């Protein structure tokens, strides 16, 4: 039986981590911590925890779990990950991982020293539509991919959030862009050679990066672009991708939006309908 400590008993622990843990045999949550006393006690009872703590430092001073799930805000991740690793726990950390490359390097060094794993929860690549797309691409069904376009459009600046996200200045790219970047590397099966990012500020009243443009150059004459717009007045699109391959162009839409279109096909010489 593997034992788990949940660091941060917020909504993600209650709605995502706890149901996932319950579905996996051989894993038991034994402790948790949160700075908010009311939430600490309420979620602690929901998870059936005998002991809850006010901080990760207190928890790891008293507990010795096999795995630590880090679900705190990103500015806490460095300290929480180091506490877990020094206590000999493997780490499953929510994204965004940490605030700086130096923080990431420090955690990686601690993990190597402790001979423990650190995994960041970029979960989109495990969703059925992305996983199946990658499987069929790898099987050669569409030919080699050469261009990926990703975009998001919604009217949702940070101040509309109700938690720590409302205070972010490094916001859209830091908090959401990790999903798009991970999927690009997943589909191309490579890391980029070069990245160019421009974050204009068309709304002087908003300090956060609500508009993000990115171009990534990958090995083998492959390229990807990303445009994230959190102040768009267009119809909402939570996350869209187009992957152009040698023999097909693939469209992947995430966000529960239904579409119906009527077009004229020049090649067929007749109207075409699609839902």
pLDDT recorded at residue 55: 95
pLDDT recorded at residue 164: 83
Residues above pLDDT 70, as percent of the chain: 100
Residues written for the chain? 275
Closest residue by Cα to residue 254 from 235, 243, 236, 240: 240
Q: How far apart are the first and last CA of the chain?
A: 47
pLDDT recorded at residue 112: 98
pLDDT recorded at residue 82: 97
pLDDT recorded at residue 255: 87
CA distance 94 to 14: 14
Which segments in the chain show pLDDT lower than 50?
Answer: none
Residue with the two structure tokens 């420090």: 106
Task: Enter the pTM of the model.
Answer: 0.88
Beta bridge partners of 215: 196, 225
pLDDT recorded at residue 227: 98
């Amino acid at each position: 039986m593997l034992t788990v400590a949940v660091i941060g008993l917020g909504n993600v622990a209650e709605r995502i981590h706890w149901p996932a843990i319950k579905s996996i045999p051989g894993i038991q949550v034994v402790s948790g911590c949160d700075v908010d006393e009311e939430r600490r006690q309420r979620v602690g009872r929901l998870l059936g925890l005998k002991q809850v703590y006010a901080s990760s430092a207190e928890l790891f001073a008293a507990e010795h779990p096999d795995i630590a799930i880090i679900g705190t805000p990103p500015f806490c991740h460095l300290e929480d990950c180091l506490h877990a690793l020094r206590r000999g726990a493997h780490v499953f950390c929510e994204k965004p991982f940490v605030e700086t490359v130096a923080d990431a390097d420090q955690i990686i060094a601690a993990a190597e020293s402790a001979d423990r794993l650190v995994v960041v929860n970029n979960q989109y690549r495990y969703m059925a539509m992305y996983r199946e797309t990658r499987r069929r691409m790898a099987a050669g069904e569409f030919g080699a991919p050469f261009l990926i376009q990703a975009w998001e459009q919604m009217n949702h600046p940070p101040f509309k959030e109700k938690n720590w996200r409302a205070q972010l200045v490094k916001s859209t790219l830091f908090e959401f862009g990790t999903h798009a970047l991970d999927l690009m590397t997943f589909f191309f099966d490579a890391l980029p050679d070069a990245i160019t990012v421009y974050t204009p500020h068309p709304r002087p009243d908003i300090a956060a990066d609500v508009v993000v443009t990115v171009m990534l150059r990958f090995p083998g004459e492959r390229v990807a672009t990303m445009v994230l717009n959190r102040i768009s007045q267009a119809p909402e699109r939570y996350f869209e991708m187009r992957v152009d391959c040698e023999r097909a162009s693939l469209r992947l839409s995430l966000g529960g939006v239904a579409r119906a279109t009527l077009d004229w096909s020049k090649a067929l010489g007749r109207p075409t309908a699609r839902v």
